[in-house]
Chains A and B, each alone.
Chain A
Amino acid sequence: MIKQFGNMMQMAFVVENFDDSIKFWTEKMNVGPFFKLEHLRVRDVYYKDKDVDIDFSVAIAYSGGMQIELVNQHCDTPSIYNEYVNNEKGPLHHLCTLTTDIENDIRILESQGYINLQGGKTEDDGKFAYLDTKEREGPMIEIAQLSDASLRLFAMMKEASKNWDREAPVMNLGDLKS
């Protein structure tokens, strides 16, 4: 039984508001365009073994092959985005990697002492879990098993970063599909 997950493909930051953060990343770090996914509809979400309903939005951009994700939580429901980590803005929150067998990987990681903190499913049955090792050496790890539709969406976002004219910091998903 071996871990199925691959390379880190996402760096994620928890932010107070998208405007300031997107301004920073597009203008200062040359990373864009960002795609906003507002009030993500996820289900079967848990945090520390309890069912939770977390209202949050994300903004995603690519820099080369790496996805930069900004997470903005709109509610006070305890989650890994607020109470779990030092809530300072700026620090790297988690790294994400994709897997083709998330149950297999969670089983292995839990057996190695990772703490399965939070997770859930996307509307189209993609699955994700955030695990922590409680070590101070680095960020949390997220493993995600995405649907084909989501993988295609990521590929489109990545393509958009290659062709970015640096004019618009934010693009709509609708602009992608057309």
Chain B
Amino acid sequence: MGKKFGPIMQMAFIVESFDESIKFWTEKMNVGPFIILDDIKLSDVYYKDKPANIDFSGAIAYTGGMQIELIKQHCDTPCIYNEYVNNLKGPLHHVAALTTDIENDIRILESQGYINLQGGKTEDNGKFVYLDTNEREGPMFELVQLSEAGLGFFDMMEQEAKNWDGKIATIEAEVII
């Protein structure tokens, strides 16, 4: 039984406002365009073993094969985006890898002492989970098993980065779907 997940494909940051962060990433780091996913609709979301209803938006861009995700939470519901980590803005929050068998991987990781903190499903039955090792060496770890549509959407966003003219900072998700 081996872990199925692959290389790290996402770096995620918690932000106070998309405007400032997207300005930083597009203007200062040359990373863009950002695709805005407003009020992401998820189901079966839990945090620390309790169901949680978290209102948040994401903004995603690619630099090469790496996805940069900015997360903005709109509510005060406790979750890994606010109370769990030092709420400073700027530090890397988590990295993510894709897997084809998330239950298998969660089982292995839990047996190795990872803490299964938060997770849930996307509208199209993609699954995701955030695990922590409680070590201070690095960020939290997210595992994601995407639907075909989810994978296709990631590919489209990556393509947008390759074709980016550096002018438009943000694109609404609906525009590229």
Report A's interface with B, CB cutoff 8 A. 3, 5-9, 11, 13, 15, 20-21, 23-25, 27-31, 62-66, 88-92, 95, 97, 112, 114, 133, 135-139, 141, 161
Query: Contact check: which of A9, A64, A92 meets B91 at CB < 8 Å?
Result: A92
A-B contact pairs, 26 of them (CB 8 A): A6-B64, A7-B63, A7-B65, A8-B31, A13-B138, A20-B137, A21-B138, A24-B133, A24-B137, A25-B137, A28-B112, A29-B138, A29-B141, A30-B3, A30-B97, A64-B8, A65-B64, A65-B66, A90-B137, A92-B139, A114-B28, A137-B20, A137-B25, A137-B90, A138-B29, A141-B28
The size of the chain B interface, using a CB distance under 8 A, is 38
Contact B63 A92 (CB under 8 A): no
Contact A65 B65 (CB under 8 A): yes
The docked-state distance in angstroms from the alpha carbon of A66 to that of B5 is: 16
Query: Contact check: which of A24, A31, A64, A90 meets B9 at CB < 8 Å?
Result: A64
Min CB–CB distance A154 → chain B (angstroms): 14
The docked-state distance in angstroms from the alpha carbon of A162 to that of B13 is: 27
B153 at the interface (CB under 8 A from A): no
Query: Contact check: which of B5, B11, B21, B28 meets A30 at CB < 8 Å?
Result: B5
- Using an 8 Å CB-CB cutoff, how does the interface string of B1-39 with A read, 1 for contact, 0 for none? 001011111010101000011011101111100000000
Q: Which residues of A contact B56 (CB under 8 A)?
A: none
A-B pairs, 4 with minimum CB distance:
A64-B7, A7-B64, A137-B24, A24-B137
The docked-state distance in angstroms from the alpha carbon of A126 to that of B99 is: 37
B154 at the interface (CB under 8 A from A): no
Contact B63 A137 (CB under 8 A): no
Chain B interface, DSSP helix/strand/loop, else mixed:
loop
Chain B's closest residue to A9 (CB) is: B64
Contact A28 B90 (CB under 8 A): no
Q: Which residues of A contact B30 (CB under 8 A)?
A: 3, 5, 97
Query: Contact check: which of A29, A92, A97 meets B92 at CB < 8 Å?
Result: A92
Contact B66 A7 (CB under 8 A): yes
Contact A8 B29 (CB under 8 A): yes
Contact B24 A138 (CB under 8 A): yes
B41 at the interface (CB under 8 A from A): no
The docked-state distance in angstroms from the alpha carbon of A92 to that of B68 is: 13
The docked-state distance in angstroms from the alpha carbon of A135 to that of B97 is: 28
Q: Which residues of B contact A13 (CB under 8 A)?
A: 137-138
Q: Which residues of A contact B107 (CB under 8 A)?
A: none
Contact B28 A136 (CB under 8 A): no
Chain A's closest residue to B135 (CB) is: A24
B89 at the interface (CB under 8 A from A): yes
- Using an 8 Å CB-CB cutoff, how does the interface string of B85-126 with A read, 1 for contact, 0 for none? 000011110010100000000000000101000000000000
Chain A's closest residue to B11 (CB) is: A11
Chain B's closest residue to A97 (CB) is: B30
Contact B92 A91 (CB under 8 A): yes
B136 at the interface (CB under 8 A from A): yes
